[in-house]
Every structure is written in structure tokens, then in C-alpha cells.
Amino acid sequence: MNKGELVEKIQELKRQKNAVIVAHSYQIDDVQEIADVVGDSLALSQYCARTDYEVIVFCGVHFMAESAKILSPEKIVLLPELQAGCPMADMITAEDLRKMKEQHPQAAVVCYINSSAEVKAESDICCTSSNAIKIVKSIKEKDIVFVPDMNLGSYAAKMAPEKNIILWEGFCVTHHRIKAAEAQRIKELHPDAVLLVHPECRKEVVELADFVGSTKQITDYASASEHRKFIIGTEMGVMHHLKKDNPDKEFYLLSPGLICPNMKKTSLKSIYDALYEMKNQIEVDEEVRLKARRALDRMLEITI
């Protein structure tokens, strides 16, 4: 099948199965184009919590589809590429977190949504990169165990100095790769450009930024800004909509290394196969799901 035929078949299957396609903004351009909703982790979770479609095709990585299933257990959630995981989410287990809780019994636990259902189930509340500061500030305890992203956790600690944040040393392999010297170099190359970075970047890179935000916050900022040139410090997938929605502006990727191989696994063919065969359905153990749901619901209540 060529691309046009694949797109047509997917649209037909979507109607037959009452399915919706949601895609993270790090997905390849073709996948973003066929998706009904494109967004960051928070926007997609909010969408999945309230959608009426019977089937959600989640074009992203495993923890995202799992979060959709936790929030909408009555729906069928398909992950077109089952091998699309998040290395950061795999950097902590529920057992690791239980040990950390024993060491800090007085602390509340905030877990980044980039984590397994089991880790969420051990946590008091979830956060995403767009609401981490708000979530941390909303917690009554001064001591907060923050897992698994040390970079997002450090940024939250800087923005909420009244809190004592205890970090787990996980990181995003894609964003953490970028060093301050590289950011400095590209700033010198484009001195009139504004630097927008994701808080999964290293602390030293975040310190050089003009604006720090989630994927959606970065794209919203660039669209609303009066500036014309932007250096983008997050995964290259965001360039698709940035360029399409702002044809009069210029965008430079902070580094060619800003590419997440797991986010690039999903293709039109894998979406078609998943929908046709209704395969790669995500399941979550009910006891774990109920506990993880509490942490996600608390986040959504505070954020909405």
C-alpha cells in the first residue's frame, strides 16, 4: 500500500471501530498529520480522561498509553509499537521507590508521568513537565521525593525554594545529552534568537534559556511571541507544527541529537496494523490501576 492508500484505510478503520488517534508532538510528521489530537503528555492525558471514543490509538511511548488506560479503563487502548518505551521511565522500579519512601517517611512522593503504573501506584501525586511547579507547590509537606527525572526535579526545586526536594537520579537520554557548551555555541550563532528549552534538559542548559516549558508550552510560547527567531531545546518532532503554524518565523533545533528513537518507532503502517488486528492492547492490573489512578486524578484536579 502506498501512503495515500494507508491514510485512507486508517480513516476507514477509525470510523468502523469508533477510534480516535492521539499523538505526542515528538511523533514523526506523518503520524502527527493523521492524528485527531496532537499534544504534550498533559494535554493527551486530559483528552484521554474525557473522550467518548471506544478505542484510543496512542501514538507515543508505553507509559503514555498506560496512563490513558489507567484513566479510561473501559476503553481499548492500542499502542501501535509495543517496543516504544521510555528509558527514563525504566530508570526506577516500584521496589526502588518503596526503599526511598522508607528512607524519607516524612516526605510526599511526586512522580513524573514518565513512569510505570507500578511507580505511580506508590506515589501521592503525578506531574508532567507543564505542571510540575504547580504540583510541587500544592503539596503541604516540605519534604518531597521527586522521581524519576532529576532535571525536572531540579528545575521544580529552583522554582519552589520553600520545598526540600529529594531527587532520584533518572534522566531523559535525549534531552540530557545536550551540554551547556552546545547551547552556548548555537546562541552565539543566532544572537537574536530566543532560546526555549524543555525542563528535561540539564540544569546548566535550563539556566541559559529565555523560556522553560513543556512541549506544548514551548510551541504556544513561540506562536504567541513577537520575536521572529527561536532556538528549540526539545525533541525535533515539535518542529513540524512550529514551522507549519508559524510560516513567518525561523526555528533552529538546539542540537541534531534531540531525537528520541522510541518516539520515532510509530509509523502509518503500525497504526494501520494495530487498528486492523486490534492488537497491542494495553492492560493494567486492577489493583495497581486504582492506586495509580489516584495519583493521576490528584494531578488532573489541581491542573484543570
* Beta strand spans in the chain (E): 19-24, 37-39, 55-59, 76-78, 108-112, 125-127, 143-147, 164-167, 194-197, 211-212, 229-233, 250-253
Note whether 122 binds ligand 13P by CB under 6 A.
no
Would you give the binding string for ligand 13P spanning residues 141-180, x where CB under 6 A is met? -------------------------------x--------
- Residue 212 binds to ligand SF4 (criterion: CB under 6 A): no
Q: Does 115 engage in binding with ligand SF4 (CB under 6 A)? A: no
Is 92 a binding residue for ligand SF4 by CB under 6 A? The answer is no
Cβ-Cβ contacts under 8 Å for 73 (sequence gap 6 or more):
284, 289
Q: 26: closest CA among 220, 241, 273, 296?
A: 241
- Among 78, 109, 263, 292, indicate the residue that binds ligand SF4 (CB under 6 A): 263
Which of ligand 13P, ligand SF4, none does 87 bind, CB closer than 5 to 8 A by kind? ligand SF4
Closer to ligand 13P by CB, 126 or 144: give it: 126
- Residue pair 59/28 in contact (Cβ under 8 Å)? The answer is no
Give yes or no for residue 262 binding ligand 13P (CB under 6 A).
no
Question: Which span sits near ligand SF4 by CB under 6 A: 162-170, 210-218, 256-264, 280-288?
Answer: 256-264
Q: Using CB under 6 A, which of 25, 27, 114, 217 touches ligand SF4?
A: 114
Residue 180: Cβ-neighbour burial (10 angstroms; 0-12, 13-18, 19+): middle
| Strands ordered across the beta sheet of 229-233 | 211-212, 194-197, 229-233, 250-253
Phi, psi of 242 (to 5 degrees): -60, -50
Pick the piece of the chain touching ligand SF4 (CB under 6 A) from 72-80, 82-90, 162-170, 214-222.
82-90
3-state DSSP of 9-57: HHHHHHHHHCEEEEEECCCCHHHHHHCCEEECHHHHHHHHHHCCCCEEE
User: Is residue 115 at the binding interface for ligand 13P, with CB under 6 A as the rule?
Assistant: no
Nearer of residues 115 and 272 to ligand 13P, judged by Cβ: 115
Q: Does 61 bind ligand SF4 (CB under 6 A)?
A: yes
Of 27-35, 169-177, 220-228, 248-256, which segment contacts ligand SF4 by CB under 6 A? 169-177
Number of neighbours of residue 149 by Cβ within 10 angstroms: 31
Partner touching 77 among ligand SF4, ligand 13P, none, CB below 5 to 8 Å by kind: none
Q: Residue 270's binding partner, choosing from ligand 13P, ligand SF4, none, with beta-carbon cut-off 5 to 8 A by kind?
A: none
Which part of the chain contacts ligand 13P (CB under 6 A), choosing from 10-18, 92-100, 126-134, 242-250? 126-134
Residues 6+ apart with CB under 8 A from 174: 200, 235, 257, 258, 259, 260
DSSP code for 168: P
Residues in contact with ligand SF4 by the rule CB under 6 A: 26, 61, 86-88, 114, 172-174, 200, 235, 260, 262-263
